[in-house]
Structures are given as C-alpha cells and as structure tokens.
Amino acid sequence: MAEAVAEPGSVPLLAAALRAHGEAFGGAAVLAAWAPGRVNLIGEHTDYNGGFVLPMALQLGTVLVGSPTRDGTISILTTSAEADEPHGVQFPAPRHGSPLSPGQPRWANYVKGVIQHYQGGPVPGFSAVIASDIPLGGGLSSSAALEVATYTFLQQLCPDDGDLVAKALACQKAEHTFAGMPCGIMDQFISVMGKEGHALLIDCRSLETVLVPLTDASLAVLITNSNVRHTLTGSEYPTRRRQCEEAAAALGKASLRDATMAELEAARSQLGEEVYRRARHVIGEIARTAQAAQALQDRDYKTFGRLMVESHNSLRDDYEVSCPELDELVAAALEVDGVYGSRMTGGGFGGCTVTLLEAGAAESAQHHIQACGRKEKYSGTATFYLTKPSGGAKVLPL
C-alpha cells in the first residue's frame, strides 16, 4: 500500500486523533489510516440496480489511529460529537466460534462489521481513536469512510492479500450485516479506489472502473450541505430497492441494468404507477450516467450540467427521494451565471447538493444560495465545501 502525503484536511484530524489516543489509552498510537468520503456527480440509486455511477473521492475523510494490545480486547473511541452515545466501546477480538455481533452504539457497528468480515487476521486486540471531518448524515458517505479507514488500519495490524475489490466488498458486507443498510457498492469502491484529479465511472455489475479526468482548473465542484439530516436505515431505502427488484422481475430481467425504456413502456400497465416511475428513474439514470462520463471526458460541461438537472428532476418526481430544501438549493444554484448544473446527491431526504460550475463563479454561487435560503421557506443554514477529487484510502505515516 502506497504511503502518501497527508491530505490537507487529514493533518489536523490526525493530530486530534493522536492526542485523544494518548489521553484515553495512556500510550502513543503507532498506526494510522485515512479514507475519504465521496460525492456522487451523477448516477443515483443505480448502484444496487447493476448500473453506472460517477463519484469522486473528497478531501474530507476519516482517520483511525491506534496500537495493538496484548489482552485480546478491542477498545475504540470516537471523537465525533454527532455520534450516538456512548463514544467509547470495548469488546473481545473475534475468535473462531465467537463472532462479533451488532448492538449499541450504532457507530461502533460499522467498525465491528469490518473487523468481523476482514479478509486477513486473526485480528488481535487493539486500541483505536476515530476522527472525521465528513458531516454525518449528509450523504457524503461518512459510513463507508469509517469502514474503509478501519479496514486500512487492520491491513497494517495483520496484513491481508491486498486485493482492493475484496476490500471494498468486505466493507459493503459490513454495512449490510452490521448496520442493516442494503447499500450498493459505490461508496466503499470510491473510498478504496479514488484517484486524485479524477472521477471514477464504476460499472456496478462488472465492478470495472474507468478513471475520468477532472483536472480542468477553470472548473469547480461545489457541495452544499442543507444540514437537514436523513437516516436511511428507515423503510424508504429498502422499499425503493424492493420496487426496483419487482420491476426487473416483471420485465424478466436480472436487474434494471438490462431493461430499456421501450420494454418498460410496454409493461407499464402490469407494473403499477409507482413501481413504473421508480424503474423509469433507474433506467434513465443509468443512460444519463454513461452519457455524462463521456461529456466529462470531452470537457463538454454544458451537456454534463444538463444531465445533472435531468437527474435531479427524476429523483424528485419519479424516485421521490428529494425534499423541499434540496429542491430550493438546486433552483438557487441554477440561477447563477457560470453554473453548468446542480442536483441532489446521496441517498436523499436531506443531505447535500452537488453543483458543477466555473471556478470563477464559486463565490457568487455561495452568496446567492445563502441569500435565497434566507428569503425562502428553507430556513436552514447551508454549509459549503469547494472540493477537488482526492485519492482513495491510505496509510498515514507516523
């Protein structure tokens, strides 16, 4: 695994985590790992349908620092004020015949799940501290960053074979089995595989990836956090997933990736209106994402922006996972000169929007969005992150 120069954001995070480890456990941490959050530029709710997604890794991420211990006990502390209580947990390292199981607090389940599904091992006892600058519940994948940072830490503690795809899949399995969230593969994949200066087109059926350059200095990616929280483990996400499976089965397909709009229209009467609209979003979004990746490759930002807006409208009207706050943030961004496109990003029901715009328009876009927020019924305060595509998970040298 390549040791890397710390991302700008990971330096203060690392310092805070090291300090907290010394205070909590009395000894210095000897190992450190970092994994990024992500923003998905386009391709929403397509990953669990075998489709395409186009995320990029962020400079926001999660650090895990720690040291092996000799007593077979794992002790973990989170510095996140937003995590559910308690902020510290202790449990015995898993052994053959005595696996770990999920419980309270919820944040620890992501870590436990990765330890349980780790491909190397056996995992010894260790102490660890988690620190993150990814907003929780903001749709920027704080959960996958925690999983992948944990896995990257374990790779130093007791090395595995270094297979990156197996790493991402083990982290996804942890989220399914320990956090009860039937997510697709996108979040873990981009956190593992991200490359600086690139978005990553992921084919979620074959798991093949294509790096798409995103280094144009005249271009900026603005993330706007509505600061409206969503919890996706509610019924909405599994319901959408089930509706997609129902539509695919009715069309005689393994997944909606194999379906065309013509086939969907032909089967409309037997699907029921809601399931039809869910499938229409997914089939359209898979096609949009492939077109958008090509547009980005060609530096055709106008086309990319148009596809982002079409994606948002489809998520709002057909998939019904947007909310008034996100709709208003998108509408406000689209009023600004130099904005190519804007859409909700992440699972929905709050969280963030992503806007592609000319770098020179970034400041006026932020001012305009804030001003609109004050005028409209959206009374929240938006937070902005102007970001560039980062590299994936890495060991931080201590």
Give Cβ neighbours of residue 210 (< 8 Å, ≥ 6 apart): 200, 201, 293
Residue 203 annotated to the active site: no
User: Kind of pairing, strands 31-42 and 52-68?
Assistant: antiparallel
Of 47, 133, 187, 318, which one is the catalytic site residue? 187
Amino acid at 398: L
Cα(286)–Cα(314) distance, integer angstroms:
12
Cα(326)–Cα(345) distance, integer angstroms:
9
Distances (CA, A) of 122 to 158, 159, 321, 395: 7, 10, 41, 20
Contact between 311 and 274 (Cβ < 8 Å) = no
Contact between 293 and 51 (Cβ < 8 Å) = no
Amino acid at 389: P
Give Cβ neighbours of residue 28 (< 8 Å, ≥ 6 apart): 18, 21, 22, 67
Q: HSE, CB side, 13 Å, CA atoms: give it for residue 137.
A: 16
Beta bridge partners of 35: 62
Cα(111)–Cα(146) distance, integer angstroms:
7
Nearest to 15 by CA among 55, 50, 88, 65: 65
Residues belonging to the active site: 187
